[in-house]
Amino acid sequence: LADPAFVGTYGINYGRIADNIPSPDEVVTLLRSAKIRNVRIYDADHSVLTAFSGTGFKLVIGLPNGFLKDMSSNASNAMSWVKDNVQKFMPGICGVAIGNEVLGGSDVELYGALLGAAKNIHSALNQLGLSDAVQVSTAHSQAVFSNSYPPSSCVFAENIAQYMKPLLQFFWEAGSPFCLNAYPFLDYMNDPASIDINYALFQKTKGIFDPKTELHYDNMLDAQIDAAYAALEDAGFDKMEVIVTETGWASKGDGNEAAATPENARTYNFNLRKRLAKKKGTPRRPKNIVKAYIFAIFNENLKPGPTSERNFGLFKPDGSISYDVGYKGLKSSSADSVVMSLKVNMYFPFNLFASHYFPYRQYLELLVLNAVFAHLH
C-alpha cells in the first residue's frame, strides 16, 4: 500500500490454502533471504502475526469476506476485531484489506456491506490511535470494469458504479489507494488468438497504441493499470493512486491452459521484477511509481478451481525455488545448482553458458537485478 505502508516497489502475497507449506517462522526466514519486506495475507491468523511481529516486515492483513456483514452492522465487533488482530500485534501491521474482490464477485449481498465494514474498521483504528499507521483498503478484480480496451476507454461497470463511488469517496478521504488485482495471464488465457503472449510477458513486441491518448503500451500490466486510472478519472477521482495487490503467472494448468508453464511463469515474474526495479510509472501516470504484490509465495494445493489456481507459487512446499527469478530458497534446488555451476565456470568460454534452461545473459541480469534490489531495500 502507499508509503509508509509500502517499502520499495515489490511485495508478495502469502496465501495458505495448503497443507504442505513451511511454518510461518520459516516463511519469515525465506522472505528475509529474498529481501521482500511487503507481505499481504488474507486473514489475521495469530500464528502468522506472531511470527512476523517485530521482524520489520510491512504486513497487510485481511478481513475475510465472511466477516463483512457482521463488521458492517456491528461497530462493537469491529472494535473487538481490531483490538485482537491489529493493536495486539503493533507495530508491523501497516494495512487492513477489507474483503477481497467483493465488488464484481458472485455474492451480491456483500456489495452493500463492504463500505460499512471499511468505515467501522477505520473508525476503530482511529479511536485506538492507529489510523495514521494502519491503512484501510480493499482489492478489486478487473470484473469491476467495463470497456477496458484501449485503456483510455475504461469505466466502472454500470452495476458496480453505485457501490464503487461512495467507496472511493471514503477511501479518498482516508488517504487510501485503489487496489487492483491485475493478471495479464488471465486476459491472455481468455483471448489467446487476439493477444500477443510477448505483450503479456513483458517481452519485445509491437505493443498497442491508444488512439485517444496517443500513448503506446509495450506490456499488458501497464495497460491494465492505466485502464484503472481511466476509470478513476471518469468517476471523479483522478488523483487516487493505483497499486497492484496481486499479479502473477501460473506454472501449471489444465489442458485448456496451455500458457501455464514454468517457462512462462519464470519469464513473467523475472521481467516483472526488472520492470519494478526501474521505479517508473505508466504511460498515463509516469510520475506514479508502479508498486505490486506478486502472487504468490507458494503453490496452494487445497485451492478449488482449475489446476492453474494451485500453481502460482515462486517457491515449492519445501521452501526451494520453483524457478529462478533471483531468489534463494530455504533449501537448495536444481536451479541453485545451475547457478553454482555458472559461478564455478565463470572464466570458461561463453558457449558453456548457452543452456536452454539458464542462459548466461539471464544469469548476468539476475546478478544486476539482485544488486538493484539490495540497494532498494
Asked whether 13 and 68 are in contact (CB, 8 A), the reply is no
Cell reading at 107: 455474492
Residue 232 is which amino acid? L
Asked whether 245 and 293 are in contact (CB, 8 A), the reply is yes
Asked whether 93 and 134 are in contact (CB, 8 A), the reply is yes
DSSP symbols for 228-281: HHHHHHHTT-TT--EEEEEE---S---TT-TT--HHHHHHHHHHHHHHHHT---
Beta bridge partners of 247: 294
- What is d(CA 308, CA 253) in angstroms, rounded to the nearest whole number? 4
Determine whether 246 is an active site residue: yes
**Residues 6+ positions from 343 with CB-CB distance below 8 Å:** none
Rounded alpha-carbon distances, angstroms, from residue 64 to 219, 289, 350: 32, 29, 52
Asked whether 61 and 86 are in contact (CB, 8 A), the reply is yes
- What is d(CA 135, CA 336) in angstroms, rounded to the nearest whole number? 38
Q: How many residues does the chain have?
A: 377
- What is d(CA 369, CA 377) in angstroms, rounded to the nearest whole number? 12
Cell reading at 357: 534452461
Rounded alpha-carbon distances, angstroms, from residue 106 to 40, 103, 110, 144: 23, 8, 9, 12
Determine whether 263 is an active site residue: no
How many Cα atoms within 13 Å fall on the side-chain side of residue 278?
11
Catalytic, out of 109, 246, 300, 309: 246
**Residues 6+ positions from 3 with CB-CB distance below 8 Å:** none
- What is d(CA 42, CA 13) in angstroms, rounded to the nearest whole number? 8
List residues with catalytic annotation. Answer: 101, 246
